[in-house]
C-alpha cells in the first residue's frame, strides 16, 4: 500500500495585477484586480515505502509547491493528499512527527546558536528519548562529519556544512519520509558526494522514503531509480530512469581507450563526439547499429586498451523532454 497518495491536486495562487502608469498604480490601491496563477495542476502520483524518487523540472514548474503541500505548509486548492494516512495540512502536528524536510535555501536551525544546541532543542521539540538522541547524534556526526563544526554557530557555517547539519536535524526524530527540496544547490563537490552517500545509507538501512527535487542530474542518476518530470504544474512523465532513456533517446555512447594516441577517424554508423588523449567517444543509434559491429570495426584497425558502452547522459534526455513539451505546446 502506498504511504504517499496525491490525487488530482491543484494549487492556485491569487496575484494582484499591476496596471501601467501612475494612475493605474493609484486605482489599483483603491480597487485592486487579481489574476489566478496555477502552480500545480491536477497532479496525481503514489509513492511506496522505501522508494527514492527524483522530482524534476524547470524553475517554476511546481516542484517546491508540491513539497510544501506534502509537508503541510501549503493547503491544496483542490484534490486530496494522504501521507501515512494523514492529511498534511489538517493534521500537521501529528504529520510532522513522521517527516523530515530540508529546503536548500532555508535552514531549520537557530541562526545564532551552535549546531549542537539546535539539535538538542529539536530533541526536546520532538520528545526524542535521550538514548535514541545520543545514538542518532553519534551516527550522524560520523556519517556527515558534524564533528568539525558542531560547536560553531550556524551563521558561521559554510553552505555545505549547513546543509549537512540541516539533514541531521531533519532526521533526528527518526521520520519515515524525507523531503529534500534542492538540498545541494551551491554545495561543493565533496560535500555533495558525502550527502549522497549518507542518503543512500539511511535509505538502505532504515527504509526511509525520499522525495528529492534537484537540478543536478548527476544526483538523480546516483540516488534515484524513479523520476517524475513536472512542467507548468503538470506531470509529463513518471517512471524509471531506464524507461525514460528508452522513451526519449535510442542513442548509446561507445568510449574507447587506445593503447596509444590515434588521430581522429570516421566510423560508419557512429559519430565522434569527443577526443581526449588516448580516449575517444562515439555516439550511435542502438536500433540501427549494434555495438558489437562498431567494436569489431575499431578492434580490427586499432590497438584497443579498454572500451565501454553507456547510455546517453540524463541531461540530454531531459533536453529531449523539454523539446517534446515545447513541440506539443506549439501544436496545440
Residues 74 and 13: beta-carbon distance below 8 Å: no
Residues 228 and 46: beta-carbon distance below 8 Å: no
Instruction: With residue 121 as reference, give the H or E element that holds it.
Output: helix 115-126
Residues 59 and 52: beta-carbon distance below 8 Å: no
CA distance 136 to 72: 25
Please give the chain's pLDDT, 332 residues, in tens.
899 999 999 999 988 777 776 666 666 666 777 789 999 999 999 999 999 999 988 888 899 999 999 999 999 999 999 999 999 999 999 999 999 999 977 888 999 999 999 999 999 999 999 999 999 999 999 989 999 999 999 999 988 899 999 999 999 999 999 999 988 877 777 888 888 999 999 999 999 999 999 887 778 888 998 999 898 899 988 988 777 766 666 678 899 999 999 999 999 999 898 899 999 999 888 778 999 999 999 999 999 999 988 766 666 666 666 666 555 555 55
Burial class (CB within 10 angstroms; exposed 0-12, middle 13-18, buried 19+) of 153: middle
Q: For the sheet containing 304-311, what is the strand order? A: 271-276, 279-285, 251-258, 304-311
Domain ranges, ordered by start, for the chain: 4-245, 250-311
Taking the CB of residue 134, how many other CB atoms lie within 10 A of it? 12
Residues 160 and 187: beta-carbon distance below 8 Å: yes
- 4-245 folds as Rossmann fold (3.40.50)
Residue with cell 535509505: 203
Amino acid at each position: 500500500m502506498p504511504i504517499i497518495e496525491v490525487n488530482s491536486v491543484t494549487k492556485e495562487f491569487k496575484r494582484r495585477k499591476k496596471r501601467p502608469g501612475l494612475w493605474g498604480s493609484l486605482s489599483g490601491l483603491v480597487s485592486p484586480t487579481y489574476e489566478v496563477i496555477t502552480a500545480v495542476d491536477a497532479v496525481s502520483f503514489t509513492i511506496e515505502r522505501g522508494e527514492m524518487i527524483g522530482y524534476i523540472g524547470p524553475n517554476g514548474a511546481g516542484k517546491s509547491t508540491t513539497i510544501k503541500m506534502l509537508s503541510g505548509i501549503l493547503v491544496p486548492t483542490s484534490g486530496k493528499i494522504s501521507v501515512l494516512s494523514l492529511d498534511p495540512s489538517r493534521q500537521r502536528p501529528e504529520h510532522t512527527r513522521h517527516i523530515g524536510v530540508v529546503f536548500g535555501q532555508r535552514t531549520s536551525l537557530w541562526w545564532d546558536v551552535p549546531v549542537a544546541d539546535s539539535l538538542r532543542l529539536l530533541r526536546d521539540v520532538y520528545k526524542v528519548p535521550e538514548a535514541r538522541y545520543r545514538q542518532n547524534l553519534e551516527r550522524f556526526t560520523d556519517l556527515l562529519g558534524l564533528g568539525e563544526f558542531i560547536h560553531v554557530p550556524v551563521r558561521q557555517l559554510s553552505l555545505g556544512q549547513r546543509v549537512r547539519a540541516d539533514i541531521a536535524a531533519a532526521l533526528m526524530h527518526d521520520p519515515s519520509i524525507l523531503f529534500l527540496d534542492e538540498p545541494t544547490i551551491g554545495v561543493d563537490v565533496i560535500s555533495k558526494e558525502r550527502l549522497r552517500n549518507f542518503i543512500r545509507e539511511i535509505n538502505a538501512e532504515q527504509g526511509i522514503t525520499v522525495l528529492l527535487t534537484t537540478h543536478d542530474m548527476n544526483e538523480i542518476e546516483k540516488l534515484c531509480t524513479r523520476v517524475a518530470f513536472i512542467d507548468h504544474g503538470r506531470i509529463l512523465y513518471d517512471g524509471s530512469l531506464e524507461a525514460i532513456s528508452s522513451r526519449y533517446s535510442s542513442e548509446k555512447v561507445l568510449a574507447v581507450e587506445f593503447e596509444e594516441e590515434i588521430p581522429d577517424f570516421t566510423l560508419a554508423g557512429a559519430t565522434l563526439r569527443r577526443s581526449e588523449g588516448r580516449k575517444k567517444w562515439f555516439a550511435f543509434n542502438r536500433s540501427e547499429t549494434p555495438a558489437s559491429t562498431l567494436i569489431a570495426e575499431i578492434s580490427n584497425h586499432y590497438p584497443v586498451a579498454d572500451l565501454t558502452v553507456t547510455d546517453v547522459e540524463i541531461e540530454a534526455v531531459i533536453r529531449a523532454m523539454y523539446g517534446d513539451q515545447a513541440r506539443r505546446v506549439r501544436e496545440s
